[in-house]
Structure 1
Amino acid sequence: MPDYTNRFKKSLKEGRANIGLWISLPTAFTTEICATAEFDWMLLDGEHTPTDPLTIMSQLQACAAYNTQAVARPPIGETYMIKQLLDLGVQNLLIPMVDTPEQAKELVRAVRYPPHGIRGVGYGSARVSRWDSRKDYVKGANEEVCLLVQVETATGLGNIDAICAVDGVDGVFLGPSDISAALGHLGNPGHPEVVAEIERCIAIVLKHGKAAGILTPDRNLAKRYLELGCTFVAVGADARILALGARELRAAFPS
């Protein structure tokens, strides 16, 4: 029987740094290409891409043969979307636009079976239980899930201390692009005011004993956030790698 231990969640609890890659191309083919690099984690993005649950399932299958952990992001933290992803076998969820502790508490309930939550029970016909071959799945299901929430709006930033205090939230991801917009620096996540706010939030997340995460293609900033204690840091995105590589190659042969 395969080992279903959530290695990503375990690593975060142990405080180890995990370097990630953003996957925005909605196909298992390029996901598997990226998986060969064996980043510690890869974010399957359903918020800003046309990626849907069936695509995420194929991406999970593409990742399975490699030493990388998948984290899935739905477009919004709706209970039915979370249920679908969990039943597909997603162990790690990143929920965008979490603004209040009440919202965070509802997300915790959404990833847990009763009596501790409201997750619907349908594992017998789902991929997560290997179609009922995992007879003990429900016994440890609640503990298998790693719930990460994104704080990225002015409201969320104001409530970050209370959000971090919610039991069942495993980590907080700080969305630099939206934070820069919230602070009046749209398109400039490296602005000193944005960086200072992110650093303030990292300290609050760590104070609560939660994992702090972020995405930045700026290598110096990525190293800075790792030094400050972030334990899940995405350092690039597949679409950006492809675009920059293609343009660099073309520029080498001007016509």
Structure 2
Amino acid sequence: MDVPFNAFKKNLKRTPPMIGVWAMSGSAVAAEALGFAGYDFVVLDMEHAPNDAPRMLGLLQAVAGSPASAVVRLQWNDAVTVKQVLDFGAQTLMFPYVQNIEEARRAVAATRYPPDGVRGYAGMSRATRYGGVADYAAGAAREICVILQLETRKAVADLEAIAAVPGVDCIFVGPGDLSADMGFIGRTGHPEVQKVLADAAARCAKIGMPCGILAGGAAQARDYLGYGFSWVASGSDLGLMMSNARAELKTLRG
């Protein structure tokens, strides 16, 4: 049995770009349903959602039965959590709030076995198909995708240097925290914020580094794709549920 194939990593530079969605509710049922909705990927959030490592196992299992790829957004650049979610079978990891080269190197190292990193080895795990992948340790890195989130002006200024760290597969520009860092908290559509986002996408394209972003909805997602972002997650399970619930209620009440 071979190391499981990572379709998300393969399709980072594809045309048309990948379209995904954020899973914030912590519900395995919702994550699974989104996986069957036609999205290319589902982001399983650990930073701002009620998901710890044990719950992540169930979420990964839920999405695995669908055509969509699972992306795990970690709560922090922490080697222990990385080790756990990789053992649970995650292959694409987003590391939040990466500020410099050193933090980028630490993120990559957490996903690699010695001597290339610090990932602890466990032969009996979901990642190894419970021992069925005999050469998992030798081939795991090939299918692991490391995404680094740049969420401040400082980090974006150092984009090229951070992206050049060996083992980095993709850059994600976080519009929410970037807007806060720029003094426009919550106003991701502010022209100054949008200018930085467009510039970051152009710089990633120049160096051949895939870059992704989260959009608040379809209109904003189209703008981001126009900037040159390689992939976009548009909305979340909670956001889609609430917007449709409010629209339905408005129609019913007149």
* TM-score relative to the length of structure 2: 0.95
* Counterpart contact for 2:70–2:92, Cα < 8 Å: yes
Write the distance in 1 (CA, Å) between the matches of 2:108 and 2:133: 23
Change (3 A) 1:83 1:16: farther
Q: CA deviation at 1:85?
A: 0.7
Change (3 A) 1:150 1:132: same
Tell me, which stretches of 5 or more residues in structure 1 are unaligned? none
Q: What is the SS of the residue equivalent to 1:75?
A: coil
* Counterpart contact for 1:19–1:234, Cα < 8 Å: yes
1:133 aligns with: 132
Write the distance in 1 (CA, Å) between the matches of 2:101 and 2:194: 24
Per-residue deviation, residues 39-84 of structure 1 (Å, max 9, x unmatched): 1011000000111112211111111121100000111011111111
Tell me, which stretches of 5 or more residues in structure 2 are unaligned? none
Write the distance in 2 (CA, Å) between the matches of 1:125 and 1:16: 38
Q: Runs of 4+ in structure 1 displaced over 6 angstroms? A: none
* Counterpart contact for 1:22–1:238, Cα < 8 Å: yes
Aligned length: 254
Q: CA deviation at 1:6?
A: 0.7
Q: CA deviation at 1:11?
A: 0.7
1:62 aligns with 2:62: yes
1:48 aligns with: 48
2:143 aligns with: 144
Per-residue deviation, residues 173-193 of structure 1 (Å, max 9, x unmatched): 011111111111111100110
Write the distance in 2 (CA, Å) between the matches of 1:143 and 1:210: 17
Q: What is the SS of the residue equivalent to 1:71?
A: strand
1:212 aligns with: 211
* Counterpart contact for 1:38–1:66, Cα < 8 Å: no
Matches within 5 A, 1:83-232: 83-122=83-122, 124-232=123-231
* Counterpart contact for 2:3–2:139, Cα < 8 Å: no
Q: What is the SS of the residue equivalent to 2:127?
A: helix
% identity of equivalent residues: 37
Equivalent AA in structure 2 for residue 225 of structure 1 = Y
Q: What is the SS of the residue equivalent to 1:129?
A: coil
* TM-score relative to the length of structure 1: 0.95
